[in-house]
Amino acid sequence: MSSTGGLAGQRRANLTPMHVPGHEIAQLRRFYASPLGHLATRMLRARLSALWPIRPGSSLLGLGYPMPYLRIWKAPGDRTAACTYAGMGAQRWPRHRAGLATVAEEDRLPFPDLAFDRVLMVHALEHAENARRALREAWRVLKDDGHLLVVVPSRTGWWAYAESTPFGHGHPYSQGQIERLLGSVMLRVVRRDVALFAPPLPWRAVLRGAGAWERAGRRFAPRLGGVVLIEAVKDMYAAIPAGEAAPARRMVVGAEG
């Protein structure tokens, strides 16, 4: 069955769409409090924790709306912070502890250079007014040996068509598109992954069988994954200007005997 056909059935089920393109915090909160949001959280946490195991003492910044996922790495001694973009609104996090979240323009983060070991972008890049500027700012606050992990809706997956979820809004990307975008701001891709293979339908059978959908999709139909996960590092060699003059070589001419 095609993805568009399944999602037409979703609309017939009278699900409430996200009328504003995925920007408002209130809409994101409602989605993540829903059964479908719980499914997305569970599946994405599994992939994120596999890609980024806990590293005691490390510092991590989440950009966009990363709150449902940051608890994976929140451990004693870790420095974890969240930053939503100004167009999205504010979100307190953690809920019952001292606040570790702030709001900022996507190209003016309130953090010093080289501040974080890891930067996670979720519900961020696809809604950014200028994706390159947002990535350049993430590059600035990332340590030279740090790692960036970008999670974006997949252009070829069926979640990009689900307007009742935040993954159905903003700019979806193919794997090649996001890799070229990262390369344009001196970020080199080191790992790729996909997730969210279950149809974006809040049906009991889908919710209960999400694990089976995930396993089958990863093996047989990776292009149907709802999100693309791309890990990248700073490409320091890309900072060397193209066409820079090579050092002069000394030529040694041997005399004939």
Mean pLDDT of the chain: 84
Question: What does each C-alpha distance from 84 to 20, 100, 185, 191, 237 come to in angstroms?
Answer: 16, 11, 21, 25, 31
Q: Do the beta carbons of residue 102 and residue 89 sit within 8 Å? A: no
138-188 pLDDT, tens digit per residue, is: 999 999 999 999 999 999 999 999 999 999 999 999 999 999 999 999 999
The percent of residues above 70 in pLDDT, for the chain, comes to 81
197-256 pLDDT, tens digit per residue, is: 999 999 999 999 999 999 999 999 999 999 999 999 999 776 544 444 434 434 344 444
Segment 9-14 shows an average pLDDT of 36
On the question of pLDDT at 87 being above 70, the answer is yes
Mode of pairing for the β-strands spanning 116-122 and 142-153? parallel
On the question of pLDDT at 44 being above 90, the answer is yes
Quick one: tokens of 150?
């970008």
On the question of pLDDT at 66 being above 70, the answer is yes
Question: What does each C-alpha distance from 139 to 156, 231, 256 come to in angstroms?
Answer: 27, 13, 57
